[in-house]
Amino acid sequence: MQQRTLGSSGPVVSAIGLGCMGFSQGYGTVDDDESVASVHTAIDSGTTLFDTAQSYGGGHNERLLARALRDAGPDVRVATKFGIVRGENGVHLDAKPERVREYCDASLARLGREVIDLYYLHRVDPQVPIAETVGAMADLVGAGKVRHLGLSEVNPEQLAQAAAVHPIAAVQFEWSMLWREPENDVVPAARELGVGLVPYSPLGRGLLTATLTSDTVAASDFRRNDPRFSGENLANNLTQVAALRALAERLGITPGQLALAWLLAQGPDVVPIPGSRRAARIIENVAAAAIELDAEDRAELEKIVAAGWAGDRQSFAAHGTSRSDS
């Protein structure tokens, strides 16, 4: 698979990574053996970036990834996040500087690693200035516990404040044909600062694969609570998906591959992290890195995308940490 560099001097990773949250929560029944096999399939297919978080399954995801990557080669890069704390008393935000090293050490122990390749602030703690949190994260780099720093779901002002403290290799946010709002603010701000772009949910929480059914929507907490997957909004979006499927069929690829190829074509600084527990889907997603859309294809695709999708995305701020910690 082609390689891309995150940020001005960040890690070199596969053009498509693997988002691992679904191995532990959000998308139906958990099956550790299936998840481990899926990670191995991803490695065999050329994937080198694996994205997890301390909050995913309350630590389960990091322990699972440790098991799956036990015999992985030196090219594998692990990204994890802190700032969303999931425990017996529910979910809350905590990015206090004095707790950052503790959270990092706990993630290192669960991951079974000496160094975290890319350490993200999962969400900004409204009680703590982001510069103070990033200052504590920078101390981890100095201590040799972390190689590169990242941020998730920040606005341009927060990104600039963080970058003034320490270089930021990557910013993570939802971005797909289904949700393009970041193109108006976060994307240009990150590019001005030399920060890599890591879109999560690049397949529109599965909608852009053109394979969802009412059962799969109902089985997922993340989809069931998302306005884009209900009522008239879903009906409108499925019409859009039909147009996407028709173009994909003409090109001899799948709708999901077309959606990923569109994102990759947005620039060499884009590294999407689609998630899947199915080996076949992972292989399909990885193959999208080799697809090149010509000017005519991109123009036709842009017409489909510009036609509009219905429903606002599931908002972290509006719905709370328990429902949206991608």
**Mind telling me the catalytic residues?**
56
Could you give the C-alpha distances from 25 to 28, 164, 213, 237, 285, in angstroms and in order? Answer: 7, 35, 19, 25, 21
Residue 149 in contact with residue 141, Cβ under 8 Å? yes
Q: Which amino acid is at 173?
A: F
User: What radius of gyration do the chain's Cα atoms show?
Assistant: 19
The arrangement of strands across the sheet holding 49-51 comes to 18-19, 49-51, 77-82, 116-121, 146-152, 170-174, 196-200
Buried b (16+ CB within 10 A) or exposed e, 39-59: bbbbbebbbbbbbbbbbbbeb
- For the chain, the residue count is 326
Tell me the two tokens of residue 289: 């890195």
Angle between helices 156-163 and 186-193 (to 10 degrees): 20
For residue 198, is it left (φ>0), alpha (ψ between -120 and 50) or beta? beta
Residue 173 in contact with residue 142, Cβ under 8 Å? no
The SS3 call for residue 105 is helix
Tell me the H-state helices in 143-254: 156-163, 186-193, 214-218, 221-224, 231-251
The SS3 call for residue 246 is helix
* Separation CA 306–CA 297 (nearest Å): 14
Vertex 71: Cα angle to 45 and 3 (nearest 5): 35
